Amino acid sequence: MVSAKSDKMVLIVVLKAYIKRPDHPKVKGALIMIKIRVLNGPNLNLLGIREPDIYGCLSLQDIQRRLEKEAANYSIDLDFFQSNHEGEIIDRIHEAFTAGYNGIIINPGAFTHYSYAIRDAISAVRLPAIEVHLSNIHAREDFRSKSVIAPVCIGQICGLGIDAYSSALFALHKRFQS
Ligand code: DQA
């Protein structure tokens, strides 16, 4: 049986962890589930059809299904969203903050290379974000090797196809375990 006293101690530990690192889900360990938002930018709705030699044959729905399975294994609550519109992606980043998400995985598509607005949104909410790409953006056209988003992310994973998303999810899972 858990006493009121030990309940209080758990709460203090949890609050201390939270004050040190607001994104830290030790808070969640006790009270809340980890929530990760996965955002996909323009043209990624066409995966499976779009340049399969570069992006592979899987659809975005296939990626979503796989990530949802993996998230369930980690007991992570996953939210998946795609938009061709910059403002909608920015709104979802802001909302990730207000709705208490713990981290973001983002494939900004071509916005990667020029959207200062998405960069500023990630920087504003200060949630740990990982930028992912199916293709190796550093081995393609010159304009793709520059990401204006990566500097405000905790990491960038590219060139591994769908495994880029899985690796990002795993990395966030590990981050929140420690
Ligand atoms: C991409 C790479 C971008 O350069 C491109 O504009 C995309 C997809 C990728 O996942 O490899 O739309 O983000």
Please indicate, yes or no, whether residues 105 and 170 belong to a single structural domain of this protein: yes
Please indicate, yes or no, whether residues 9 and 39 belong to a single structural domain of this protein: no
Confidence of residue 2 (pLDDT cuts 50, 70, 90): very low
**Residue 8: predicted pLDDT:** 53
157 pLDDT higher than 90: yes
Please indicate, yes or no, whether residues 37 and 121 belong to a single structural domain of this protein: yes
Of 50, 20, 22, 25, nearest in space to 35 by CA: 25
Q: How far are the Cα atoms of 67, 152, 172 from residue 175, in angstroms, in the given order?
A: 17, 17, 5
CB of 102 within 6 A of ligand 1: the answer is no
**133 labelled catalytic:** yes
Which of 10-14, 73-77, 84-88, 136-140 is predicted least confidently? 10-14
Average pLDDT, stretch 91-108? 98
Please indicate, yes or no, whether residues 9 and 60 belong to a single structural domain of this protein: no
Please indicate, yes or no, whether residues 52 and 85 belong to a single structural domain of this protein: yes
**116 labelled catalytic:** no
Confidence of residue 177 (pLDDT cuts 50, 70, 90): confident
d(CA 98, CA 85): 21
Ligand 1 centre to CA of 110 (Å) is: 6
Ligand 1 centre to CA of 27 (Å) is: 35
Confirm if 155 and 171 have CB atoms less than 8 A apart: yes
Ligand 1 centre to CA of 140 (Å) is: 10
pLDDT per residue as tens digits for the range 53-89: 999 999 999 999 999 999 999 999 999 999 999 999 9
Please indicate, yes or no, whether residues 48 and 7 belong to a single structural domain of this protein: no
Mutate to test the pocket of ligand 1, among 46, 83, 107, 138 (most ligand atoms within 8 A of CB): 107
For the chain, percent of residues with pLDDT exceeding 70? 81
d(CA 175, CA 178): 6
5 pLDDT higher than 60: no
Enter the tokens of residue 24.
């830290």
- Residue-number span of the structural domain to which 15 is assigned: 1-32
Please indicate, yes or no, whether residues 43 and 27 belong to a single structural domain of this protein: no
Give the residue, by CA position, lying nearest to ligand 1 atom 2.
109
Confidence of residue 33 (pLDDT cuts 50, 70, 90): confident
Q: How many domains does the chain have?
A: 2
CB of 157 within 6 A of ligand 1: the answer is no
Q: How far are the Cα atoms of 15, 18, 34, 178 from residue 11, in angstroms, in the given order?
A: 6, 10, 17, 18
Average pLDDT, stretch 137-161? 98
Confidence of residue 159 (pLDDT cuts 50, 70, 90): very high
